[in-house]
Amino acid sequence: MFEKILIANRGEIALRVIRACREMGIKSVAVHSTADADAMHVRMADESVCIGPAPSSESYLSKAAIISACEITGAQAVHPGYGFLSENASFAQALEDHGITFIGPSAEHIRIMGDKITAKETAKALGIPVVPGSDGGVADFETAIGVAEGIGFPVIIKATAGGGGRGMKVAKTPEELEIAFRTARAEAKAAFGNDEVYIEKYLQKPRHIEIQVFGDGKGGAVHLGERDCSLQRRHQKVFEEAPGPAITPKMRSEIGAICANAMSKIAYIGAGTVEFLYEDGNFYFIEMNTRLQVEHPVTEFIFGVDLVREQIRVASGMALSFTQDDLEINGHAIEVRINAEKLPNFAPCPGKVRTFHAPGGLGVRMDSALYGGYSIPPYYDSLIGKLIVHGRDRPEALSRLRRALGELIVDGVDTTVPLFHALLAEPDIQNGDYNIHWLEKWLAQQF
Ligand code: ADP
């Protein structure tokens, strides 16, 4: 087992990894930008290293600075968290070249899944059902119109290199397609430096259902059921739950087995998430994330496992500490993402937190790096905490969430807490009756 792990991240996820390290008797190293000198992850880690100025391009994304920090501190492995360098194949490769373990999949698997067209082709070859669409990239409008007419309108144009919900355009008619095709390519070029796009059937009322998978790198792989992450704003998740209200045990074990088998065939190592759109009983693969996800705690709650601990174990060459048969769902869990944002426009709202009080009690988990007196810097993501609750069933989880939200105090900055109070009062949310378009439609009516 490793003696020392460096965490190449900040905020709540850095704390999450430090906590797992401490429970496993592993020393932790925090890295930080100059803007984060007072951050909680720096205080909580055993050691810390400043790796550069505030902009993440010069600190949290600086491979050379992070590798130097490993050399200086003698860290044997790096946990990348999510975002930043967590899905950067050349970073995983560079670490390996320096004899440092990347706590995550191989550079090759990151590369395959990082390119959405290759990911889709790979998924298809591994027996995973995919969204109907173009075979690979579409370079000109004539081809685009041919594909769209073949699968039928509406269609969605997506950037091969896309991520974070960016670079997607919907077209309902050939006229719209012409404009959408051109703007999608231009936006993709500007955002990702790659103008390749592909076309998919645009599903009208799907749910976003994702399967948590875990591989031991030796051909052993399991699935840990699904999360329903359909409540999204601008293709970004805001509320996630497990198990999915629309998924039956039979569907779960079928799609779960397909995903676990696929991971076993490629000898995948570590945590991964296979994302699907789900409509009328069918699953359609959209992409795979080769890292720990923001919403992993809902899965941890219902299965009673520590996913970060498992990531560290398999990265060090140990076996998974559970088999598929050991994994049994217990109750229901919900996560809400608390962002420092001002409603109704969700404008980022950094600033000084005067008071912070985290909710507690049975079945409540608050993952946050806030503390009273902390100044949220303007340079990074607006996520300031995740409130996760667990109940014996969905109604209990919902009332626990309502109760816990009422206890939470974040004084000094605006947050998305009022959004969740309002959502919990909605019958559709109480009934689990929503799809990926529900939240946008509801928001448009509210404000
Ligand atoms: P990103 O990597 O940018 O997050 P994804 O491919 O994961 O992009 O898609 C993000 C979200 O966009 C999905 O959860 C869904 O809400 C929407 N979306 C993606 N593909 C389709 C599709 N074919 N039809 C309808 N909605 C889609």
Catalytic residue positions, numbered: 291
- pLDDT at residue 436 tops 90: yes
- pLDDT at residue 179 tops 80: yes
pLDDT-based confidence at 163, cuts 50/70/90? confident
pLDDT-based confidence at 68, cuts 50/70/90? very high
- Apex 93 CA angle, 296 and 259, nearest 5: 40
pLDDT-based confidence at 279, cuts 50/70/90? very high
Q: Check residue 162 and give its pLDDT.
A: 85
Query: Is the distance from the beta carbon of residue 86 to the nearest atom of ligand 1 less than 6 Å?
Result: no
Residue that is written with structure tokens 């919403």 in the block? 295
Distance (angstroms) between ligand 1 centre and the Cα of 133 equals: 13
The predicted model scores a pTM of 0.96
Percent of the chain with pLDDT over 90: 97
- Apex 370 CA angle, 368 and 376, nearest 5: 120
Using DSSP, state whether 70 is helix, strand or coil.
Answer: helix
Question: What's the start-to-end Cα distance of the chain, in Å?
Answer: 53
Mean pLDDT score, 301-306: 98
Query: Is the distance from the beta carbon of residue 415 to the nearest atom of ligand 1 less than 6 Å?
Result: no
Mean pLDDT score, 65-94: 98
349 Cβ neighbours under 8 A, 6+ residues apart: 340, 341, 342, 382, 413, 414, 415
Distance (angstroms) between ligand 1 centre and the Cα of 286 equals: 7
Q: Measuring CA to CA, how many Å separate 183 from each of 176, 189, 289?
A: 11, 10, 26
Residue type, 229: C
Ligand 1 atom showing the smallest separation from residue 167 Cα: 3
pLDDT-based confidence at 226, cuts 50/70/90? very high
Instruction: Please state the ipTM of this predicted complex.
Output: 0.96
342 Cβ neighbours under 8 A, 6+ residues apart: 349, 414
Give the span between the Cα atoms of 272 and 299, in whole angstroms. Answer: 12
Ligand 1 atom showing the smallest separation from residue 133 Cα: 23
Mean pLDDT score, 324-328: 98
Query: Is the distance from the beta carbon of residue 156 to the nearest atom of ligand 1 less than 6 Å?
Result: yes
- pLDDT at residue 438 tops 90: yes
Q: Check residue 164 and give its pLDDT.
A: 78
Protein residue whose Cα sits closest to atom 8 of ligand 1: 165
Mean pLDDT score, 39-53: 98
- pLDDT at residue 165 tops 80: no
In contact, 31 and 7? CB cutoff 8 Å: yes
